[in-house]
């Protein structure tokens, strides 16, 4: 059975712009189809220097029907795939690539005959498989979570796991008594979860390694108090890149194990349901605070805040690891109504964006909103710090914007091997303009973008230890 695409009327969009240091997030409604749209999950492919494949799934409740929809967000075709529809209650759809391939698996819990069951459906080579039951007759808040190889859920306080693509598909009890809220890494065999009773819940991780005995190792991550809602985030390394909520003096704060274990310090309002995204942003060593690393981490943390009276907003905290930039917090939903369930993913049309998706509820209607910023994993692309030596220079191209030819001028102080290359936003090399030894002097070279689409590109010059990157804009 081939995918079934459902078209909906386009909706006028009100744009809000928030500026965040050198990058800005633009907010807009994203999914506004009839009915209520909520309970989001996403999956992303490997993303450092290639355009990631990304999908979003959610529950749509329209009249008496519960529907699970899928939409590709990178690249975004604007098409909707109806995965499942039923009059029985459906909750918690989860999505993952199958065993790190390009095929997709979606699982969800369905309430039938006074009990829960976990159902699954796959998309193999663009074809929808039949719906299958993974487990049945469950009577707990089962909280399923899905990775590329494993499914985890809760039954009577036990943390249960099943390998989905193995000959041995028996259910394994990983931990027992007072377990809840598992979160499986999408591409790794890592799980984080809560353990303990309300008021004294702790965050644990379970990691699988087939070469060790025992294969599963467990680590207590939180230190005390009440800790909930663990989230591994987009980087997929549980203990190193994890956020969760902790109750401090009666107020929920957000902890990040990657930053300083004290990401938020709010006193009079709650911060809840964290999600995080990070990626390496190369910069010259002499611009780095400790002068030793070319790769600081650019960090985005999204969470729900009730800092506004009678209103829940999505806040975004932005900073560089190890203090490269001052951290900044902004309100990215900035609208009437309530906003919750933030989750990071990618959005790509002609440009690749880091995106936060969340549920927006206003006047009894739930929709999915998005805030996005350009994903730029290139040297100098965020703050463009130059690394200069005397009499070496790379000039801004002229004209800029250009169509389709522009001139790039540069100067070198002494005979050296020089390269000038052009890259797209994803770090893919587009052209080599200079690649050879040059005597001291001033030069210029033309770049022709007639075969490229409109957008932002970067050109980078290297001459010995001199490196500099500049941005150019092709506008057809």
Question: Would you call 412 helix, strand, or coil by DSSP?
Answer: strand
* 150: its two tokens: 């494993």
Handedness of CA 403, 426, 356, 69 (dihedral sign): positive
Q: Is the peptide bond before 457 cis (omega within 30 degrees of 0)?
A: no
Give yes or no for a contact between 314 and 304, defined as CB atoms under 8 angstroms apart.
yes
Query: For residue 260, is it left (φ>0), alpha (ψ between -120 and 50) or beta?
Result: alpha
- Cα(466)–Cα(476) distance, rounded to whole angstroms? 32
Q: Would you give per-residue pLDDT tens digits along the chain (476 residues)?
A: 344 444 443 322 322 323 334 467 899 999 999 999 999 999 988 654 456 789 999 999 999 999 999 999 999 989 999 999 999 999 999 999 998 788 999 999 999 999 999 999 999 998 999 999 999 888 878 999 999 999 999 999 999 999 997 655 789 999 998 999 999 998 888 999 999 999 999 999 999 988 888 999 999 999 889 999 999 877 666 666 789 999 988 999 998 886 655 577 777 889 999 998 876 555 444 544 444 444 446 678 899 999 877 789 999 987 655 444 456 788 999 888 999 999 999 999 888 889 999 999 999 999 999 999 887 655 343 333 333 334 678 888 888 888 999 999 888 888 889 999 998 766 778 899 999 998 888 888 999 999 888 777 888 898 887 778 888 888 87
Q: What one-character-per-residue DSSP string does 193-245 give?
A: EEES-TTS-EEEEEEE-TTSSSSEEEEE---SS-EEEEE--TT--TTTS-EEE
- Cα(255)–Cα(271) distance, rounded to whole angstroms? 10
5-374 belongs to CATH 2.130.10.10: yes
- Cα(136)–Cα(152) distance, rounded to whole angstroms? 14
Q: Which residue, among 138, 128, 135, has the nearest Cα to 69 in the 3D structure?
A: 128
Domain locations in the chain as residue ranges: 5-374, 393-474
Q: Which residue, among 69, 50, 51, 45, has the nearest Cα to 59 in the 3D structure?
A: 69
- Give phi and psi for 152, each to the nearest 5: -120, 145
pLDDT of residue 122: 95
pLDDT of residue 398: 87
Decide if 5-374 and 393-474 have a common fold: no
pLDDT of residue 445: 93
Question: Would you call 322 helix, strand, or coil by DSSP?
Answer: helix
Question: Would you call 323 helix, strand, or coil by DSSP?
Answer: helix
Q: What one-character-per-residue DSSP string does 87-100 give?
A: SS-EEEEEEEEGGG
Run of H or E residues at 121:
strand 115-124
pLDDT of residue 143: 94
- Cα(306)–Cα(340) distance, rounded to whole angstroms? 10
pLDDT of residue 20: 35
b/e per residue 440-474 (b: at least 16 CB within 10 A): eeeeeeebebeebeebbbbbbbbbeebbbbbbbbb
Q: Which residue, among 399, 411, 401, 382, has the nearest Cα to 446 in the 3D structure?
A: 399
- Cα(64)–Cα(81) distance, rounded to whole angstroms? 19
Which CATH number is correct for 393-474, 2.60.120.20, 3.30.460.80, 3.40.50.2300, 2.60.40.1930? 2.60.40.1930
Give yes or no for a contact between 5 and 80, defined as CB atoms under 8 angstroms apart.
yes
CB atoms within 10 A of CB 76: 17
- Cα(268)–Cα(307) distance, rounded to whole angstroms? 8
Beta-carbon contacts of 398 under 8 Å, excluding residues fewer than 6 positions away, are: 406, 407, 409
* 146: its two tokens: 């899905």
Give yes or no for a contact between 395 and 468, defined as CB atoms under 8 angstroms apart.
no
Beta-carbon contacts of 445 under 8 Å, excluding residues fewer than 6 positions away, are: 407, 408, 410, 420, 433, 434
Query: For residue 324, is it left (φ>0), alpha (ψ between -120 and 50) or beta?
Result: alpha
Give yes or no for a contact between 217 and 205, defined as CB atoms under 8 angstroms apart.
no
């Amino acid at each position: 059975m081939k995918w079934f695409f459902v078209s909906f009327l386009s909706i006028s969009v009100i744009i809000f712009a928030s500026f965040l240091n050198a990058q800005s997030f633009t907010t807009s409604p994203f999914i506004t189809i009839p009915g209520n749209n909520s309970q989001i999950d996403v999956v992303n492919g490997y993303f450092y220097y290639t355009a990631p494949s990304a999908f979003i799934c959610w529950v749509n409740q329209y009249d008496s029907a519960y529907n699970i929809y899928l939409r590709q967000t990178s690249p975004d075709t604007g098409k909707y795939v109806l995965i499942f529809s039923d009059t029985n209650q459906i909750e918690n759809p989860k999505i993952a690539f199958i065993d790190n391939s390009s095929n997709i698996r979606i699982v969800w819990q369905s309430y039938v005959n006074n009990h829960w069951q976990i159902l699954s459906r796959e998309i193999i080579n663009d074809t929808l498989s039949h719906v299958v039951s993974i487990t049945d007759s469950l009577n707990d808040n089962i909280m399923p979570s899905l990775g590329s190889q494993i499914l985890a859920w809760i039954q009577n306080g036990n943390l249960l796991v099943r390998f989905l693509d193995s000959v041995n598909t028996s259910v394994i009890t990983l931990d027992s008594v007072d377990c809840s809220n598992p979160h499986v890494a999408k591409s790794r065999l890592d799980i984080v979860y809560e353990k303990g009773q309300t008021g004294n819940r702790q965050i644990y991780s379970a990691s699988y390694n087939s070469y060790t005995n025992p294969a599963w190792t467990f680590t207590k991550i939180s230190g005390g108090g009440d800790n909930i809602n663990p989230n591994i985030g987009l980087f997929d390394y549980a203990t190193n890149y994890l956020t969760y909520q902790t109750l401090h003096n009666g107020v929920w704060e957000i902890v990040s194990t990657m930053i300083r274990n004290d990401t938020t310090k709010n006193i009079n309002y709650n911060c809840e349901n964290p999600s995080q995204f990070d990626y390496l942003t190369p910069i010259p060593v002499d611009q780095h605070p400790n002068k030793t690393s070319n790769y600081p981490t650019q960090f985005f943390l999204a969470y729900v805040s009730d800092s506004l009276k009678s209103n829940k907003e999505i806040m975004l905290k932005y900073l560089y690891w190890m203090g490269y930039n001052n951290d900044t917090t902004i309100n990215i939903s900035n609208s009437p109504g309530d906003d919750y369930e933030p989750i990071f993913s990618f959005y790509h049309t002609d440009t690749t964006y880091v995106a936060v998706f969340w549920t927006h509820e206003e006047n009894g209607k739930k929709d999915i909103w998005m805030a996005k910023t350009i994903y730029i994993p290139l040297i100098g692309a965020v703050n463009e710090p130059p690394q200069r030596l005397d009499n070496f220079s790379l000039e801004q191209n002229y004209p800029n914007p250009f169509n389709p030819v522009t001139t790039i001028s540069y100067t070198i102080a002494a005979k050296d091997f020089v390269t000038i290359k052009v890259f797209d936003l994803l770090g893919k090399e587009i052209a080599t303009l200079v690649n050879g030894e040059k005597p001291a002097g001033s030069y210029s070279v033309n770049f022709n973008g007639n075969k490229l689409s409109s957008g932002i590109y970067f050109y980078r010059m290297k001459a010995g230890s001199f490196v500099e990157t500049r941005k150019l804009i092709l506008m057809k």
